[in-house]
Amino acid sequence: MNAAKEFFLKYSLQIVVLLLVVGIMVMVSPGFRGEAALFSSLERLIPLGVIAAGLAVTMIAGEFDLSVASMAAFAGAIAVQLGGLGLIASILIATVVGVLLGSLQGWVIARLGISSLVFTVGTLILLRGATWLATDGVPVTLTDYKLSDALMVRIWVFTPLSLTTIAVLAVLGIFLSRTRWGREISSIGGARQEAVASGVKLRSRLVLAFAISGGCGALAGALSSFRGGSATPDGLANMLLLALAAVLIGGVSLTGGRGGMINVAFGIAITAVLAAGMSSIGVKAFVTELFTGVLLLVVILLEFAISKAVAYRASLQRRRPHLAVA
Amino acid sequence: MTSTASIAADFTARPTRGSVVRFVNSHTLPLLLAAVFIASAISTPDFATFANIRAILINTSIVGIIAVSMTAITISGNFFSLGIASSTVLAGIVFLAVSGLTGSALAGLGAAVAVSVTLGIMQGLIVGAGLNPVITTLAVGSVIYGLVAIATKGAVVTAGSVDVAWLATWNFLEIPLPVYIFVLFTAVAWFLTEHTLIGRNIHLLGANRATARNSGISPQATTIWAFIAFGVGLGVAGALNASQLHQMQANDLAGLTMDVIAAVLVGGTAVSGGEGSPTRSALGALLIVALGNIMLLHGLDNGWRVFLVGGIVVVLVVALHVLRKVSTR
């Protein structure tokens, strides 16, 4: 009982926003009801949810991986072309490629101490170019359409796609909060100097964080391309905005350290319901992007205002005993 | 005597390493640019023709104007904007619409600049207050894209029967107006950042925010100035681009954001702030466009261009970072 109360208090803002979004969507869209609504929202989890989860890990570690969307597009192109090897094998290979490229990025960033924002904007362009090369600049389609049928099997409101996302979120959540390496990743985001001073291996944790975001991006891209049956050279480009919005709306701090996978799950749920609800009333994708952008702006402004208010309050409390002495 | 001599020798010897680094740091880009031009002039028959060089300059002018105007933001320590493409499209559409209504391309240009500067001030206010510039510009960019798509219903916007093309085609010595505007823009931006108080404030803010604030520089006002400069560049570039194409729609210019960021990064402006110059961004833009042109002449498609640009950005960013680390050690 106490734990539940604590949970509601800790995530009150996210719960309120989620309920608001669900309420508004149910009100404006007559078709957005029950199982159908739940199913269409859950189907939004691929690629959004897995990409957001990966991005969140680097943000919790106090870094940025702007290349996730390009990584997803690149892995999608690889996976579709390896389709002949079978569904599981091609998804696995694409994911491993993502993990390796992600580790390489993390290693360079950690080894050289270069700003991850700058380095990953370079790899964002590089991987987009690699996607163009891998697809020869034209959409690549799956030769065997039946291959992806296994991903569309519907189990009540779930499909293997949404179940994968939930599994990824759960595994990453347990990893970050219950294992030593996971906690160390959060610690280098919150208080890097203190973490290093107390013996955290900064380099290998950064490599790990970027390996996770690379792997998540690749997995999401591969799954999403299989669902669509094709990979395009310029696909998934707007995923950076949507994933970033999901992570920040969920309450993960921009400066690192604060927030976990439960925050990310709330953020993904809010953006997924928004997107699914909007498309159920026949709104075009760019209107959804507009609303996501507005929501993102509101959230970062709100977070900024709250942090200023907290800092102001802390400064008042610090001053009080001083005044008493005077 | 010997000790003073050795100290003096030591003292004069010390900066050599720094100066080598400084030489490489400040000359890499011009040398690279020269190497690319010479190599392609030899290997590619159609490269060194007047028509081709002219085409490169025309294409550079749009990317270049934006890159030059964004440099102030980067120097001030506010990284870069991820909303370039949609802001430029907005400026282009405002230019076409206002030109169509008033019958004057100059009125359209003024309106485009006014709208861009207003949006720049708004973003400058948010970023200046201390919010993350990359996220802010990404969010504002997507809002602008959404609003433009809704307002135009995704359709192509033109200026109707009004002649707006002269802005892009008027030429002197066979070189059209946008190229001159680009050169003028670079010169003004160079003067403003190197030789005025506001330019120095922008440098200092990027080099050390705390020191800048302690010496009485307002981070808010300085950041807003940087975003105003950016807004002017976006407005002018959007109008010129729309006048080149005679039309504009919400989905245009998809690759522009990355080209501009690449130009600034390749130019060697330190993204951590405090270091860099608009002239280097202009050269960076020239390099990026020239590379695309060479790829095109060799029959390689867009993929190779993007891949190569990404590769150069990654390599140069790493190289400059390592060089700076060595020179400050």
Give chain B's largest Cα–Cα span: 84
Q: Residue B143: which of A131, A234, A290 has the nearest Cβ?
A: A290
Contact A286 B271 (CB under 8 A): no
Nearest-by-Cβ selection for A129 from B138, B250, B303: B303
Structure tokens at A212: 């996770």
H or E element in which residue B106 lies: helix B105-128
Searching chain A, which residue's CA lies closest to the CA of residue B154?
A: A286
Q: Which residues of A touch B304 (CB under 8 A)?
A: 129, 132-133
| Beta carbons of B314 and A64 less than 8 Å apart | no
Burial A277-308 (b: 16+ CB within 10 A, else e): bbbbeebeebbbbbbbbbbbbebbeebbeeee
* Closest CA–CA distance from residue A35 to any residue of chain B (Å): 30
Report pTM. Answer: 0.85
Q: Under an 8 A CB cutoff, do B321 and A241 touch?
A: no
Amino acid at A203: R
Query: B-contacting residues of A 24-83, CB under 8 Å?
Result: 64, 66
Question: Distance of CA B41 to CAs B46, B282, B296, Å?
Answer: 8, 21, 14
B171: DSSP letter: E
Which of A117, A126, A245 is nearest residue B311 as measured by Cβ atoms? A126
Instruction: Give the pLDDT of residue B152.
Output: 85
Residues of chain B with Cβ-Cβ distance to A122 below 8 Å are 265, 310, 313-314, 317
Helix axes B302-328, B256-267, angle to 10 degrees: 30
Report yes or no: A114 and B285 within 8 Å, Cβ to Cβ: no
Q: From the CA atom positions of chain A, what is the Rg in Å?
A: 21
Mark yes or no for CB contact B80/A133 under 8 Å.
Answer: no
Find the closest chain A residue to B259 by CA distance: A125
- Coil, strand, or helix at residue B157? strand
Q: Is A245 on the interface with B (CB under 8 A)?
A: yes
Helix or strand run (H / E) with residue B304: helix B302-328
- What amino acid occupies position B164? V
Nearest-angstrom CA–CA distance, A46 and A148: 14
Smallest Cα distance from A280 to chain B, Å: 18
CA distance A197 to B21: 32
The span from the CA of B121 to the CA of B128, in Å, is 10
Closest of B214, B202, B191, B177 to residue B270, by C-alpha: B202
Q: Calculate how close chain A gets to B123, using CA atoms only, in Å.
A: 11
Provide, as residue numbers in chain B, all residues whose Cβ is less than 8 Å from the Cβ of A120.
Answer: none
Structure-block tokens of residue A80: 């579709």
Contact B139 A121 (CB under 8 A): no
Contacts of B149 in chain A (CB under 8 A): 284, 286-287, 290
Interface check for A233 against chain B (CB to CB < 8 A): the answer is: yes
What confidence score (pLDDT) does residue A81 get? 87
* pLDDT value of position B81: 81
ipTM confidence score: 0.81
| Closest Cβ opposite residue B138 in set A115, A127, A244 | A244
**Tens-of-pLDDT digits for all 326 residues of chain A?**
577 888 877 787 788 888 888 888 888 888 788 788 888 888 888 888 899 999 999 998 888 898 999 999 999 999 888 877 888 888 999 999 999 999 999 999 998 888 888 889 889 989 998 998 888 878 888 777 777 777 777 777 788 888 888 889 889 889 888 888 888 888 888 788 888 888 788 888 889 999 999 999 999 999 888 888 888 888 888 888 889 888 988 888 777 667 788 889 999 999 888 888 888 887 877 888 888 888 888 888 887 887 788 888 877 776 655 554 44
Q: Which two tokens stand for residue A132?
A: 């163009």
Q: Which residue of B has its CA nearest to A240?
A: B138
Size of interface A-B (CB pairs under 8 A): 144
CA dist A230 and B248 (Å) reads 29
Query: Is A289's CB within 8 Å of B265's CB?
Result: no
Q: Chain A 202-221, CB below 8 Å of chain B: which residues? A: none
Chain B partners within 8 Å of A296 (Cβ): 135, 138-139, 142
| Shortest Cα–Cα distance, A79 to chain B (Å) | 19
User: Is A306 at the interface with chain B, CB within 8 A?
Assistant: no
- Which residues are CB-contacts of A49 (< 8 A; sequence separation ≥ 6)? A165, A168, A169, A220, A246, A268, A272
- CB spacing of B143 vs A294 below 8 angstroms: yes
Task: Supply the pLDDT for residue A57.
Answer: 92
Contact B75, B230 (CB under 8 A): no
Write the residue in A118, A289, A292 that is nearest to B317 by C-beta. A118
pLDDT digits (tens, 9 = 90+) for B262-293: 888 887 776 666 677 888 888 888 888 888 88
Cis peptide before A47 (omega within 30 of 0): yes
pLDDT digits (tens, 9 = 90+) for B214-255: 888 888 888 899 899 999 999 999 999 988 888 888 888 878
| Selection from A296, A242, A293, A257 nearest residue A52 by Cα | A242
Q: Are B84 and B70 in contact (CB under 8 A)?
A: yes
Question: B158 forms bridges with which residues in the sheet?
Answer: B247
B163 — alpha (psi -120 to 50), left (phi > 0) or beta? beta
% of chain B surpassing 70 pLDDT: 90
- What residues in B contact A74, CB-CB < 8 Å? none
Q: Is the CB of A64 less than 8 angstroms away from the CB of B305?
A: no
Range B27-328 has CATH code 1.10.3470: yes
DSSP conformational letter for B248 = E
Paired with A270 in beta bridges are none
Interface test mutation site (partner A, options B258, B275, B304, B323, max chain A beta carbons within 10 A): B258
Please tell me what DSSP assigns to residue B300: -
Residue in B138, B142, B314 nearest the CB of A126: B314
Cβ of A117 within 8 Å of Cβ of B271? The answer is yes
Collect all residues with Cβ–Cβ distance below 8 Å to A206 and sequence separation of at least 6: A61, A63, A106, A109, A110, A188
CB pair distance less than 8 Å for A112 and B322: yes
Q: How close A130 comes to chain B (CA, Å)?
A: 6
With a cut of 50, list the residues of chain B below it in pLDDT.
Answer: 1-2, 8-16
Domains and CATH numbers, chain A: 14-281 (1.10.3470)
The 3-class secondary structure across chain A, one letter per residue, is CHHHHHHHHHCHHHHHHHHHHHHHHHHHCCCCCHHHHHHHHHHCHHHHHHHHHHHHHHHHCCCCCCCHHHHHHHHHHHHHHCHHHCHHHHHHHHHHHHHHHHHHHHHHHHHHCCCHHHHHHHHHHHHHHHHHHHHCCCCEECCCHHHHHHHHCCECCECHHHHHHHHHHHHHHHHHHHCHHHHHHHHHHHCHHHHHHCCCCHHHHHHHHHHHHHHHHHHHHHHHHHHHCEECCCCCCCHHHHHHHHHHHCCCCCCCCCCCHHHHHHHHHHHHHHHHHHHHCCCCHHHHHHHHHHHHHHHHHHHHHHHHHHHHHHHHHHHHHHHHHC
